[in-house]
Amino acid sequence: MKDRQLTRRQLTRGALLAPAAGYGRILGANDRIRVAVIGCGGRGLLKEVLDSRLDTNAEVVAICDTWRPQREKAVAEVKEHTGKEPLALIRFQEVLARKDVDAVLISTPDHLHCAMLMAAIRAGKDVYIEKPLAMTMEELVEAVDVVKASDRVVQVGTQIRSLPQAAAARRFVASGGLGRRLKAEQSRNAYQPYWWSRGQVPVQENDVDWEAFLLNRPRRPFDANLYAGWYGHREFSRGGHAGQGVHFFDLVHYVFDAGCPSRAMAMGGTYRWKGPYDAPDSIEVILEYPEGFLVRYGQFFGLGTGNYLKLYGTRGSMDAANWSWGGQWEISGRGSNEPDRIAEGATLPRGESVPHMVNFLQCIRTRRQPNAPIDAGYSHSVAAIMADESYLRGERMVYDARTRSIRKG
């Protein structure tokens, strides 16, 4: 095939990451939004856009994945739901070169996020990009600058902030309902790392475009465990604090109306699930914010119990552990002796929101900023990168907002 003839140099970060000229169609009120899905694994973006297509007038016109069985399954799913068979492509550059694609949904391994985001923006596409937005400060700053120099709509995939409860919590905190912000903490645990079973999926080399998967990483012989279980390999994904912790970091930033942390400390390691992975199976992260509060994220794999998520203020606390669409977050003044503490029996008012994918597709048409714009991805990435650097170095990390950099200190 034509895409197999790309040279190694073209595949790496540079010449062929995007077509030379961008193209962005101006959509009329009745024009259909033509979407391509890049990466069709377990995240479920394909299902989300298919479920919302009737309300948003969107159509999946192309499927792109480096693994043949996954690509074929996604094509069949689109055909089953719509009666139309989308294009099946292997390399994302082919998708970006097409003028019949208005927007791309990128749900690929973490090491590809920034490269694909920048390429898509330069090709004139609107982008839904999965989290974490970035793995390093260097790629984060470059990607954010590319997005901000464009007129493209970018939605980062931290969908928890689009829950009705999150909108209600944000308004409640902004109105002083929680009092002065003091702390937020989450404990997120499970029996087994989420990458463990994924790495056991049988993958045959002749079904995979291995070079396209590696893209900007050094070449090496095919490794089925690395390909299927990339979540557990730090070269491709840092671990649970970056893969799942960013949902919590982003939620705190949204509800507390905060930016990047100023200082971070983290400790962790692999204590239970020894194997071919180097991502830690346990980690504790402490973040300090210039607005004057602390954030703690703890995660361990070994026992699936002890999960919670709470936000604390001088007037009381909020239990935000229920992340279902119709779930209720509880507020309580228990433990506060302030005269204006949250009254006994008080409930968090319901908020109004639309699903994250619907919001993205609506914003493609209106050209408004989505619920999780590029700045949200920047902030959650800074938090995750600071935590990861502290975990690696065994030192406290400091963020410099002026230079957009982190250092020990």
**pLDDT tens per residue, range 260-283:** 999 999 999 999 999 999 999 999
Q: Does the structural domain 2-158+360-373 have CATH classification 3.40.366.10?
A: no
The residue-averaged pLDDT of 163-167 equals 96
Rounded alpha-carbon distances, angstroms, from residue 190 to 274, 295, 301, 305, 307:
16, 21, 5, 7, 9
pLDDT at 7 (0 to 100): 46
pLDDT at 141 (0 to 100): 98
The edge-to-edge listing of strands for the beta sheet with 330-332 is: 330-332, 316-319, 308-313, 181-187, 293-300, 282-289, 263-269, 397-400, 405-408
Q: Which residues contact 127 (CB under 8 A, 6 or more apart)?
A: 103, 104, 106, 117, 120, 121, 152, 153, 154, 155
Residues of the chain with CATH 3.40.50.720: 2-158+360-373
Q: Which residues contact 149 (CB under 8 A, 6 or more apart)?
A: none
Tell me how far apart the alpha carbons of residues 22 and 356 are, in angstroms, rounded to a whole number. Answer: 26
The residue-averaged pLDDT of 224-248 equals 97
> And the tokens for 65?
């994945």
Instruction: Write down the residue that tokens 């905190």 correspond to.
Output: 173
pLDDT at 43 (0 to 100): 72
Amino acid at 402: R
pLDDT, tens digit (0-9, with 9 covering 90-100), for 25-59: 777 777 899 999 999 987 779 999 999 998 999 99
Residue 126 β-bridge partners = 103
pLDDT, tens digit (0-9, with 9 covering 90-100), for 83-134: 999 999 999 999 999 999 999 999 999 999 999 999 999 999 999 999 999 9
Residues of the chain with CATH 3.30.360.10: 161-196+229-351+382-408
DSSP state of 30: T
Amino acid at 160: I
pLDDT at 373 (0 to 100): 98
DSSP secondary structure letters along 44-94? -HHHHHHHHHHHHTEEEEEEE-SBHHHHHHHHHHHHHHHS-PPEEESSHHH
Residue 405 β-bridge partners = 400
DSSP secondary structure letters along 361-381? HHHHHH----SS-HHHHHHHH
Half-sphere exposure of 252 (CA within 13 A, CB side): 30
Q: What CATH number does domain 161-196+229-351+382-408 carry, 3.40.50.620, 3.30.360.10, 3.40.1160.10, 2.40.30.60?
A: 3.30.360.10
Mean pLDDT of the chain: 93
Q: Which residues contact 356 (CB under 8 A, 6 or more apart)?
A: 48, 155, 157, 159, 161, 162, 371, 372
Tell me how far apart the alpha carbons of residues 388 and 251 are, in angstroms, rounded to a whole number. Answer: 19
Question: Residue 269: helix, strand or coil by DSSP?
Answer: strand
pLDDT at 257 (0 to 100): 98
